[in-house]
Structures are given as C-alpha cells and as structure tokens.
Structure 1
Amino acid sequence: MLLSVGYLMLYVARWWSHRARKNMYLQAVRQVVRGSSIFIRRSVSGKTYAAAGSLIQSSLVNGSPSFTPKPLVEDDHMEMLSIEPKQIVNLKDDWTAYYRPQGEYVEDETHEDIMLLLEARRPTNVDTFLKHELEVAPAEKVHILAHGAAVAWKSGTPFGIILHCTLDEFVTLAMAFCEDRLTMDEDLEVNSIMTVKVEGKSTSLVQNQEIDTDTVTESALKPNSIPAETDRNVNNAEDDNSIAKQLEHLLVPSSEQDQLTELWSNESLASNSSIGRTSELLDMIDSEARETETRAEESMMESGAGEGLSDFELAGSSSSTSGSLSQSWRFVRQTSLAKPPNVLVYAGKIDSVRKFNKVKKILEQCLDNESYVIYHLKHEEIETTPWIENTILLVIASKKRYADSNEAFLKYFKAGGKILGLGSGFDQELVGQTMIRKENWIVNLNYKSWSDVSLISGMYAYDTNTVVVDDSRVTKLATDKNENVLIVKVNQETKRSAGSAILSQVLFDKDAGDMGVTPEMFNALKKSNTARFEILGQLLTTLGLECSASSPPVLTPAVLVAKESNLKHNFLKSIENRLSSGVLKYGTQSLQFTTDDSSPAEENLLPVLTEESEPFMKNFNQGEYCGNLKSRILGNTVIYVDVIPTTMTLLDGLMFSVPETTGLIAIARQQTQGVGRGGNSWLSPIGCAMFSLHVKLPVDSNLGKAVSYLQHITSLAVVYSVCTLEGYQDIDLRLKWPNDIYYGREMKLGGVIVKSTFMDGMVHATIGCGFNVDNSNPTICINDLIQLHNRQEGTSLPACTSEQLIGRTVTCIENLIDEFQTEGAESFKQKYYEKWLHSNSKVNLQSEGNAEVQIIGLDEYGYLLVETADGVKISVQPDGNSFDMMKNLISMKTR
C-alpha cells in the first residue's frame, strides 16, 4: 500500500513539474511569437548532438539588414531563442505540398496558429539511433504529425517539413524534442525546430493541390473542429490522397559519395532568396557548436537466422487497410529501414550458374560475411519474385542485353536501388559507351591510390558526357594508362529517390585462369590479386556496404555429451557395428568417433570426441543447458561443435540406429553453410542459438498424420522458452507463418526448417532451428528486447544465454508434442493463434488472379487456410509458396 502511494505521489509530482514547465514555455512564447522566430535547441546540460547550434545553417535568416537572437527560456532541458525579424520560408523554392486527409482548413482568428520549420537528417550513427528508438517506450514518444498538420516538405540534406499547429502543440513538440522523445517513425532524426512565416506556393504532385500561401499565414489554418489528438487519422491507408502514399516517395536514400554530398550538403530548407547573413547569426547563437556532419549509411536489418529471397521477408505492414497516420509512417519506415541483407547476382541466361558461383566467390571475400547473404537472381525470376524491395545491392555480371531484364533493373535503379555492373550489357541504359577493343584484355588500372594494377577488362570505355537517364550524374572513377574511363559512378539526383550505380568494365570476377595469357601476363595478374580485392572492396564500400570481411572460421571437432552417462554408453553401443576403424560413413559425410582431440575437422569428415575436451567445450555451458532441459527424451544426448558447415545433415546417419530414448540433438556455436527453407542460406553468427533435433513419431499418431505442424510447434516453443520465464511474459515475440519468429511485426529473430523421413511405420524428423539470442548484429536479438524491456519497465531481468533457451525450447517442443498427440490439433492451434501475426488478415492470392482472401487459420495438416469472398476455403502449403507481408501477397510458386 505504501509503495503504491509512493508511486502515485511520484507520478503526480512529475506531472505537476511537467505542466508547470510547459506553462512557463507557453508564456514566454506568447510574448514574442507574432513578431519573432523562436528557435529551440537542447540545453548544454541536457543531451546534445554534435551539430547542435549549427543545424540552422543557411536555413534561418531572411534578407533583413539586422537580426538579433535573444534568450527567452533556458533550463536543464531546453533553450529558447527569439530571432528578429521573423524568418521567412518561400514555398515556391523546391517545396512540395502535402495532401490534406483532414479536409479543408478554414480561418479561425481566435486560435493561436503558427507555422513550424522542422529540419531532420539521417543519423550519423544509425546503430545508436535505432537503439535509442527502441529504448523509448511507445507511450512516451511524441509523433510530429500527432501535434500538427503537415503543409509542405522538402527533400535533401537537411530534410524539411513545414508544420501547422497551435502554440500549445508547438510547446509539446519542443519539449519532446529536447527530451529525445520526438519521432517521425522514420530513419530521420529531428535536429531543429523554429517558428517561421510562410510565403509562396509549394509544388503539387497532382493538379489542383497547390498550397496558396496567401491563405497559409500564421494567422490561421485550423482543421474543422477536430480534436488535436485525433484529427491526424487517415481513414483509408490505400487512398490515393493519403500521406502514406506520398511518404513512400519522400525518402532520399543516404549515400556517402562526394557527388551527392556536394549536391545536397548545403541545401537550405528556407528559400535562397530569404537567406541573409547566416554565419553572423550562427556566431551569435553558438560559435563552438559548428561541426561538420557526416552522412549516415543506410541501415540493413535482417535476422542472423533469417531466410532469404524466396521465403518470408521482413514484416512491414498491418493486414488491415485502415489505421492511423502514425501507422502509415511506420509502414514507410519499415520498408525503407528494414532492408534485408540480400545481395543479388544476375549472370544472364547462358551458363549462369557457373558465372554466379564465380561472382559469389569474390564477393564473399570482400563483404562482411556475417552481414549479407548472396543469392542468384535467375532470369526467369526477375518478373515473378518480389526482389526489388528486398535487395540491398544488385550485381549485374551479364555481358548480353535483354530487354525484359534491363527494364526491371532500370526500375530498381530509379526506385533508389544500388547496382554494381561488371562488364554488363545493362550499362548502356545509364551511360554512353565506346568500343576500344574486340575482346577482353589486360589493362593497367589507375584508381585512387592504386596505380598500374593489372586487371582483366572488357571491350568498352565509358563516355561520361553521355548521360542516358534524366536527373542523373556520371562521375569518372578509374582509367587505364591511355585515359580510357573504365569505372564510373552514376547517381540519380531527384527529390524522391537516389539510385546509385558503379559500372565497371574491369571484370573483378575474372582472374589469370580465365584467360589464355603468356606467363608474364599470368604473373602480372597474380601479383595484382590483392589489389583486385582491395579495389572491389573500396567500390562496394562506396555503395554503402560493409566490407570488413573476415576469413571463414576454422572447422572444429565435435564433442559427445549426455545428460546421463548411461545415455552416452547406450548411444555408442548402438552404432559400434556400423563403425569401420571408428568411422561412420553415410552419404558424402563421415563421423569419426575418437578420443584423440588432435584430429582435424574437415568439411566431409567430422571427428566426434567421445570424452569431454575442454578446448572444444569452452564455449558451451553444459550445466546451463542441462539445468534448463526438463524433457524426458528430447535433447538428452548432445553432439556439440563450435564451428560446422551445418547441423542439418549431422544426424542423418545416426537417427535410424540409436535407441528411442537417446534424444539426439546437434548444437553449434557457428555455422558456415547454414540452410534455410527452400535451400536458402541461413546467416548464423556467434550469439545465434542453433540446433538440429531428432524427433520420432508413429505414422498413425495425431502428429504423425500432420507432420507439417512440427515447424509450428518448434516456432511456438522458441517463443515460450522466453515468455514463460518469470517476468519475461511481455517480451513481444511473435510468429509468422509458416516458420518465422519475430519481434512484434518489425524484425525477424529466427526461423525453423523440418526434414522428415518415413521408415517402418515411424516418422523420423530433423528439426533445424536458429534464433538470435545475444547477437545484436546484423539486426536485433532477444537480449536487446530484454534490455529494452528493463529500461521501459524499470526492471532488471537478466540476459538469456543460448544454452538456457535451447534447453527450454527443447523442453517446450516435447511438451507441445505430447499435448498434440493426446488432444489433437485444436488445442495447439489456440495457443499458436495467440502468438501469430495473421489473425483475420486479408491478403491477395496470386494463383486466384490476385483475389483478396481472408486468413482463417491453420487446416488439419498445418497449412494456411484462407477463404475467398465467395466462401471457398483454400489450403496454402508452405513448401510451395512465399508470403510477402509487405505486399499482402501469397505467391504460388511453380515447381
């Protein structure tokens, strides 16, 4: 009781302090707002940004002969400055009008209406920015559009929004800004707020939508009697006039390149005609705060346990077609910020697999191999797979030109995509070319600090004066000794997007073995091999990718451990008749059961140490695992390995021989060739919990008749492993059909794959599972969510370990299997539906002419059950379909 009273008193005190401070700001603002501009910045004693004080550079001052910044209010949170005369923003200078979902505005002389100029930039440190976004509780965040009506926007650096609001709303926004609670639900960070006067007409994206600033003045534009907290809602997110539709075109993807920086780095949000003595004002406000801002790299988000192109991608949108404006902003943020780490390689039609493998091999040696997955974009998939939204980089390595592929690649470029061309026929779609030889040849390349590097080049040189795509700019990057331009960079320079391409006639995927050359040429190419990789890495970095590539980890022996000693003995006894000199061979793999811990591990030969070995067990806490394993059978006998290509095939040669009570599980700390559903690669950095589990079921049992449910059981078990811990029940883990574990709707944390075989009336299934526990990169992990929860709720829940959650997950799998076998599917489905993302969602079924269907649930076999408008129920099998939630589309794949 006393504790509750204490909390209540603390709450009241905080509320009173906040209200008193707000009233103080309001009184100060009312005194000067009509004749002056008011500029807000964080106080020095509060949190400051590197550029605080210089963010108003070239954006504040009009052409008045004099101006005087005066302090109005300064406390521990914010500093208010008045600037005379009032600053003017001329909307005719590159400003674009917002649509008005609220309806027409009318004048109201009795209301205190003002115009705000908000400037925002991409954060200089994306990781810090995202971490802070997650740390602030949703209830504490203040969205800019919840306290103002957007009038116009302007792209570039800085990004700008003109907002119409009341004085009270202005102060609310200012306080949230200075307390780091202001959000745009976008990968942009608000850096300054100032009251301004607005003149001129902004450009409209459609006819008859221009904003006439003869009526847009500070005296008065107020929505028709709609409450401030609810008047920003959008009734239909699909409506052509919704702000969300425009916001999809607002973002200008960040680029670290000098050309784009030069173009936008000094662009002002106020019109050039209204800019005066900027440097004088900056000196008077804060001369010490002027620092050069660097452009932030585009962030890439995808789970380390993520699947790839043809499977589920990141969840991005609500299934509902209606929602609030802030939800619409959130959708835009997810589609831009949550970029999966997919690098696609297009190698044409002929001999494409060999070419792809060649390109993939060199990319793997340059890119950070824990941050990206490289896929082969086949020609027939260009029009059938939703790859454009899910690609961080497209590598084109086909010399031949195909009209259909070039059209799709040009669309990707214009949508802000990044392209690396390696002697590609697509180059001609962007820049002019001149043939300088009739075949590939060796050139001496000069690029930055590299000179006379012997590399293989194609037949053309680029004409930097011939620009094919409107609003684009071509820059020379590298030449040969004859000054032929062999590498160029093409930037699209528009407000809505910024496509970026590096086109190279230098064939970085080819080495000395690809040409019939003399010994001298061969030697020259071999000597240039290091420079070849360094230059390619620099070009990839220029496109914004991480190239801190590390050598693949060395494979290690495995160690056999068991919860009880008799289990290990029984296991070894059951396979001894199959061993030849201690080696068990199956397929292309072999397991060597030995006590010699000096036996080296190879890709197709894995030593399994039958006695515990400290060097190979130091990264596995057996006590933690066994302490959390409460199952009768599953997971009792462990083959643990630090580094292995994949655990999914490790149990193949064992599961038919071992006793039923063995409970085999393979656990890895790191995989080098992890496999996802459909053959996709599975990123598996350290900190990702990874295991393959053997499950044996009678064919005529409830689950034996519906084996597909195993992937749903496993996914739910991962969620339960966390959420059934005391105090962890509010960690927002969710499920996406058929086999993904998510944080909310936003980010993928893990996935499941199941292989099954029928023998002697039994189903032998191998469950492969991976989920992020303690690896914050490349996206997010469970411990990040626990840390966020602690900060939001004031708790101190400890972080989880992989051993702990694997043990709990296996226990949950066994419990759910037992319940399913006893009670059937219905009881399980109710638990599953509580955690999945698709209840009552409406999607489009491609096989039915993109007809809209409603998701009902799971059918008797575990497949997705949907219903058409006519009441027809259709089962969608996960092995043959991909579910793109961002497009609300279920694509039926062709086998």
Structure 2
Amino acid sequence: MNILVYSGDGASKASIIHTVNSFRSLVGQYYDVMKIDDNGLLTEPWEESTSLLVIPGGRDLPYVRDLSGSTNDKIRKYVHAGGKFFGICAGAYYAADRINFEQGSPLEVQGSRDLKFFPGECRGAVYPGFVYGSEAGAKAAGIRLNKDMFAQEQLGFNETKVYFNGGGYFVDAEKYSGTQVLAWYNNEPCQISPDVATPKAAMIASQVGHGIAVLSGVHPEYVATDMDPRSSEYGPQPNVVTWLLEKEHERRALLRSILAKMGLKVTQLEPYNTRNTSANLSAGAIQGIPAISPLYLASIHPSYTADLTRVLSGLADADHLIQEVNDTFQLVPSPQHHVPVHTPTIVKVEEGDDEEKITKNIVFCPNEPPSTTLTPEFDMNLYFSHLKQIRQLISNSESDGYKFGNSLMYGQVVTSTQTMLDKNFGLCQQLPDGFVCSATIQVAGRGRGRNSWISPPGCLQFSMVLRHPIKALHASAVFVQYLVALAVVEGVCSIPGYEDVPLRLKWPNDIYAEVPLEHPSQAYAETSRGLGNQDQRMPKMIKIGGVLVNSNFNGSEFLLVIGCGVNTTNPNPTTSINHLIRSHNKSSGKNLALFSQESLLAQVLFKFEQFYRQFLGGNGRGFAQFEEMYYKRWLHSDALVTLTTTTPNKRVRIKGVTLDYGLLRTMAVDDQGRDIVDEEYRLQPDGNSFDMLKGLLSQKA
C-alpha cells in the first residue's frame, strides 16, 4: 500500500523532502512512500492502493488552481470512503472550510476552500514575520499536547517544540462535532489574535465520513538532524535548529503517534542521542533508511563467475571502478578481501531534486556462494540448490541449456535492482542472458510510471537481463510481462497440491490474491449494482506483486530488464503467498510447505524460462499457446467495466487480449448487458488506467 505525498506546484521542496524522509523512517517498513503530482491525482486510480494522502506545506493558491474540481472530488470521495488525509501548514489551510491568511498585509489570502475537512476557519500566520521561500519567520513553536487523544501511545511528555513557518490555527475547533484537538499552541503575547483567551488549536483530527483528516499548522515532519544549525538562514546560535535538535526524539514520537492514531502501522522508535546530527550519521541513517550493503556475485558453477569476473574487470579502471551513467561500482576480488567504505555524495537528478549517491561494492565469490554470515537474509547456496533440483525433475535432454538464474548478484540493502541494471546500459549489455540481481530491501524501488518505494521485508524482488531477438516477429516483446506474471502464479499453482492457492493475474502485469478470510461474512467485497440493478458480489482481491519491463535496442535484439516483486513471507502491508498457503492449509486440512525467498525465486525463474522457450518456439504461435492458461488465472473474463474517455462513458465487456500486440480487447454492451458485436475497443497496456475493483477503464491519449 502507498503513502502519497503531493509534489505539484506550490508544494515546498523542503516540506516534501522532510515529509518523505520522516514517513519512510516511521512507516517505510509497511508502506511505499511516493510522490505524486496533480496530473497523477487526477488521472491515476490511486485510491484503492493508498493508505494516506499528504498535502505538505507550501502555497495554498497553486493548490486551489491545480486541484479544484475533479481532483478535489476524488480526494473527498477517497476520504469519505475510509481514506486518510494529512494536511500540513498550507495543506491544512487548503483542507479547511475557509482560509484567512495574513489579513491586511500584501500576502493576504482569504476565501472558502473545497475540501472542507475542517468545517471552520484556519487563520494565520500564528506568529509574525512569515516570508515565502525564507526561514525569516521560522520558529521552534511550543505546543501542548492533548494527551487524552494519544492515550494508547503513552507519550512521555506534555509539551514539545516543532518547526513552524507561517502556519495557522483552527478557530473554535472545540465547538465542531467530529473534530478533536490534538495539540494547542502555547499562549504567547506575540501571536495573532491576542484577544482570544482560549488556547489556539495547532493540530486537529476530523472525522470525515468513514475516513479521517489530520490537519496541522505546525510541521511535525521536519527532521531537525537534516537541518544545519550553522546556516545563516537561522541566525546566530542558539537558534531554531538548536532548539529543535533538543526535541527531535519527542518530535518523532509525536509524529509516530499521529500516524498510529490514523490507523497506520508504525515502527518502534529507536533510542535517540541528542548529540547526533546529520554530520555524524551513516549514509541513509538520517532518513531512517538502512545503509547500502555490498553486492555479492556468485554462480551455479564457478566457471560462470570466472567469465563474469573477466568481463566486468574489463570495464573497470585502474582503481577497479566501473563508472557508469547512473552508478559507480567498486570491484572486490573475493569476500576475503577488504570491502571499502565509501562516502556518499549529493547530485542533481532530472526532476531537480537532490539525490544521495554512493559507490556500490560488487564482491566476486569465485569458488562458492558467500556464507550466510555475509548474507543472513538470503542463502545463495540454498537458492542454487533449489534451482538444480527443479531442473533435475525434467529429463536431462530438456534441462540442458537452461540458464536463467545461473548467475546471481545479491545485496541485502540496495537502491533498486531495476535501476542498477536498466540505468547503467554499458554494464547491462555485458551481462549474460538470464543474469539476475536480487535484494532483500530496496530503498528506491521502481514500479510502472513514476512509482517508487521502500520495499518491505519478506517481499521477493529481483531484476533479470533478457535478450529478446527482434527477428522473432511472432513473439512480440510486449508479452514478456504477461509471461513473467504468469510464471509467478504457475510457479506456485502448478506444484501438486498447490493448485487451489488463490493467486490471480490482473491485466496487464500485476499479481493479485483473494484475501484470506477469518470469518464467512468477509467472503465478498462490498456488493455493487450491476446492469439491471442486479447485485454483483466479488471476492475481496488484493495486490501482492507486480512486473516491470524496461527495453533498450541493442543491435539485433531488445535488451530487456525484467523487474518483479512479490510478497512471499511478509503479512504486511497487504498479504503474501505464505499467508495464503497457511490459510489454505487451515481451510483444506492440508499441510503444504511454505516457500522461502530462495525456493520461490528458483521456481519462478525456471517456470518463466520454460514459458519463454515455448514462446519463442511453438511453431510460431507466440502467445496463443498460453491463452487458455492465462485466462484461467486472470480476473477479467467477461467483466463489465466503463470506458471513461468516451462521451458519454461507454460500458464494455472484457473479451481478452489481442495476439499481435497484447492489447486489451473489449466489446460494447447495451443497457441489458448484451454484446454489441460490431463495436470493439482495443486498449494499450501502458496507455490506460485500469481499476479492476471499481470497474473503470480509462483510455489515455
């Protein structure tokens, strides 16, 4: 599940960075913390996969300009249906019924707002001196907590200080039904409205339909250790940052409690040393993200590792560095050699944001895979053993030549397996067909479009190099994503005894599962009304995996980098294959063995290689050979959905995929649900937003 942080025009770059860093440190184990702009909020079907939407600090008027209308309608419906919203500073002004900002000054902004998650007025700035794009009005604002609202979290303090820069207070918040005050500003004579005798509400929580909105005039997301007290922006010490550093642990505890109050899963707080600053924290620690670990490269046979060692050494300079477009790699001859510690650097990325880069160590394992003391979360030797055993189950003649997964590069903590291969083309084109890069934790994982995440433990995630021949006209590369997703499902369900484990495919490249149910009343999702007002009841489905394929042209072939992630052993943030198996064992009386990361990776790679060989061969029939199997596993046969880009919207029935380019084939239906045979629509996988659970289909230009 995702936490979305709005990053469109008006959102403060600093507030975005602090929000992403803080949330990743507190909930990144359970949720993907991602940025999204106004276009994404309007056009993408984000609601079903989003646990929290955050509108950070910045400027309210650009929010009004870019989000008013349909986008605000989507946000309101999302929250009313049970979603969660967090508005900070400008995001809080924007989510109130009315804004009253700097009345009588050149910065004055007044008027009603559309979201109305707080039914009253947000008035500010509470403290004078605010200047856009400046720290001139910044303050370490003292706030008093309403500890009754955090009873379950047992906060060990009544007051604390948090960053403030232009925020408002919520006028008469106590008078509104469904509104809880979480914290008040400490009374100070320099505040706005000094004649108001009652404390000014700094943070509130509002019940909105079935959902909740937390609005804050202060910035509980600002990480003091990411701020430099020596900067002249904050003035001479002691200054704002100095005071915030003293309260950093309390700030983290407060933000954690707010997120827990909203129903999010949160990590435990680590012990905190107030003397720690960003200057003496290890790489990644500022954000609460684990440090990047070495990459260990081993093979099913030592000769393959020797070949890779020669190839990669040929790319390196005299210092054994491979300096690529996106990453720099340090080659280390063996685990017995010293593994260097590299200093991270800050570079500019395409979007204009700063990004931390660090040289990555590739440690060759020439004779055997590394011991589990070096890779405690993944036993590479066990993985290769599983791969050998699976291949031995078929005849020797058929098993000859199998290569997918023969060489594996594994890191316990990496940036992104997909990025390391796809964005470093010089390195990638030298890697053998079927080369795999895997990780336990990705701190900058990549999905389709702009999606990125910190992956949760227990999610099998890997990327593989595949050289697809251009001359194979009968086997379009677009079907590779379908075959990989199918290989995940069939890799489990084709094993005797596992046939009924409820794994499914969602077009074009997601793996879904029927939610394991603890009570018969949970057996179906909410009833919806179909054509003719007939009830349509569907089993609850939830995403547990996905596939991403990136392509580069390389002479006579496409150099594909296939990325795949599937929840294997983790129960959070959604469910996992092992959770499905446990539930299936309980309901069926079976005792099916659970998968390990190692066994599932071997099973999926082998099954995909079987499919891919058949795909290229098969007397030129391409994907036609897999139609029956694919439709057996997918969710959409004869499903009725709405094509929302036609005027008026068009109701269509899903018929299948085309065998030339893998387009989704749909047919219009009349008011009685009967097919209109001469009205067919074909839709591209990468050009549509398809929300299976809501029955909406959007064809994009």
TM-score for both structures, normalised by structure 2 = 0.72
Greater Cα radius of gyration, structure 1 or 2: 1
> Any unmatched runs of 5+ in structure 2?
99-115, 131-136, 148-156, 189-197, 270-287, 345-356, 392-398, 515-539, 669-675
Give the whole-Å Cα distance in 1 for the aligned partners of 2:378 and 2:412.
Answer: 8
In structure 1, what is the equivalent of residue 331 of structure 2?
A: 593
2:427 pairs with 1:654: yes
SS at match of 1:519: coil
The reply on whether 1:717 has 2:487 as its aligned counterpart is yes
Q: In structure 2, what is the equivalent of residue 529 of structure 1?
A: 248
Instruction: Return closer, same or farther for 1:873/1:352 CA change in 2, 3 Å cut-off.
Output: farther
- Distance in 1 (alpha carbons) for counterparts of 2:243 and 2:472: 67
- Specify every segment of 5 or more residues in structure 1 that has no aligned partner in the other structure, as ranges: 1-340
Which of 27, 38, 41 is equivalent to 1:368?
A: 27
Among 417, 422, 435, the alignment partner of 2:88 is 422
Which of structure 1's runs of 4+ aligned residues deviate more than 6 A?
A: none
Equivalent position amino acid for 1:432 in 2:
E
Question: Residue 616 of structure 1 contacts residue 641 of structure 1 at CA under 8 Å; is this kept in 2?
Answer: no
Task: Confirm or deny: 8 A CA contact 1:735 1:741 kept in the other structure.
Answer: yes
Shift of 1:882: 1.6
Distance 2:9 2:684 in 1: 30
The aligned runs of 1:281-680 (5 Å cut-off) are: 341-346=1-6, 349-350=9-10, 355-365=15-25, 367-397=26-56, 398-401=58-61, 402=64, 403-404=68-69, 409-423=75-89, 424-426=92-94, 427=96, 428=98, 429=116, 430=118, 431-435=120-124, 436-438=126-128, 439=130, 440-442=137-139, 443-447=141-145, 448=147, 449-451=157-159, 453=161, 455-464=163-172, 472-475=178-181, 477-482=183-188, 484-492=199-207, 497-510=209-222, 516-522=234-240, 523-548=242-267, 551-580=288-317, 581-594=319-332, 595=334, 596-600=337-341, 603-611=357-365, 612-614=369-371, 615-629=373-387, 630=391, 632-651=402-421, 652=424, 653-658=426-431, 663-680=434-451
SS of equivalent to 1:634: coil
Counterpart residue identity of residue 246, structure 2: K
Match of 1:865 in 2: 665
The CA deviation string for residues 533-571 of structure 1, in whole angstroms up to 9 with x for no partner, is 222222222222223267322221111111112111222
Distance 2:338 2:602 in 1: 26
Deviation string for 1:49-92 (max 9, x for gaps)? xxxxxxxxxxxxxxxxxxxxxxxxxxxxxxxxxxxxxxxxxxxx
CA 1:490/1:586 → structure 2, altered by over 3 Å: closer, same or farther? closer
Deviation of 1:490 after TM superposition, in Å, equals 4.1
The residue identity in structure 2 corresponding to 1:724 is: S
SS at match of 1:764: strand
User: What is the Cα deviation at residue 455 of structure 1?
Assistant: 3.5
Counterparts of 1:665 and 1:465, CA distance in 2: 56
| 1:607, distance to aligned residue in structure 2 (A) | 1.4
Distance 2:379 2:167 in 1: 58
| TM superposition shift of 1:762 | 1.0
Match of 2:652 among 830, 853, 864: 853
Kept in 2, the 8 Å contact 1:556–1:600? The answer is no
1:647/1:347 CA distance change after superposition, 3 Å: closer
**CA distance in 2 between partners of 1:377 and 1:658 (Å):** 34
Question: Residues 408 and 609 of structure 1: is their aligned pair in 2 closer, same or farther, counting only changes over 3 Å?
Answer: closer
For the residues of structure 1 that align with 2:74 and 2:408, how far apart are their CA atoms? 49
Residue of structure 2 aligned with 1:698, choices 457, 462, 469:
469
- CA gap of 1:399–1:886, structure 2 versus 1, over 3 A, is same
1:876 aligns with 2:683: yes
Partner of 1:806 in structure 2?
Answer: 601
Shift of 1:464: 2.0
- Once the two structures are superposed, what CA deviation does each residue of 1:448-491 show, in whole Å capped at 9, x if it has no partner? 423252642535332226867xx534536323133642424243
Measured after TM superposition, the shift of residue 583 of structure 1 is 2.1
Distance change >3 Å, CA 459–CA 610, structure 1 → 2:
closer
Q: Report the 3-state secondary structure (helix = DSSP H, G, I; strand = E; otherwise coil) of the residue aligned with 1:678.
A: coil
Whole-Å separation in 2 of the counterparts to 1:505 and 1:727: 56
* Structure 1 residues 682 and 433: alpha-carbon distance in aligned structure 2, compared to 1, 3 A threshold: closer
The number of residues matched between the two structures is 545
Distance 2:47 2:307 in 1: 53
| 2:418 match: secondary structure | coil
Task: Give the alignment partner of residue 574 of structure 2, picking from 779, 787, 791.
Answer: 779
5 Å-filtered alignment, 1:85-104, equals none
The change in CA–CA distance for 1:422 and 1:617 in structure 2 (over 3 A counts) is closer
Supply the AA of the counterpart residue of 2:35.
H
Aligned to 1:159: none
Aligned partners of 1:597 and 1:613 also within 8 Å: no
Q: Cα–Cα, structure 1 residues 854 and 538, in superposed 2: closer, same or farther, change >3 Å?
A: same
Alignment of 1:128-139 (within 5 A): none
1:345 deviates by 2.6
Closer, same or farther in 2 for the Cα pair 1:588/1:670, shift >3 Å?
Answer: same
* TM, length-normalised to structure 1: 0.57
Look up the equivalent residue of 2:215 and give its one-letter code.
L
- For residues 739-750 of structure 1, the aligned pairs below 5 Å read 739-744=509-514, 746-750=541-545
Q: Give distance in 2, aligned partners of 1:815 and 1:780.
A: 28
Q: Which amino acid in 1 is paired with 2:88?
A: L
Bigger mean CA offset, 594-603 vs 681-690: 594-603
Please give the per-residue CA displacement for 1:647-672, whole angstroms capped at 9, x wherever unaligned.
11333443322455xx3111212212
**Amino acid aligned to 1:892:** Q
SS at 2:490 equivalent: helix
> Partner amino acid for 2:382?
E
- For residue 790 of structure 1, the aligned residue among 562, 569, 585 is 585
Q: Aligned partner of 1:458: which letter?
A: G
Contact 2:88–2:216 (8 Å) recurs in 1: yes
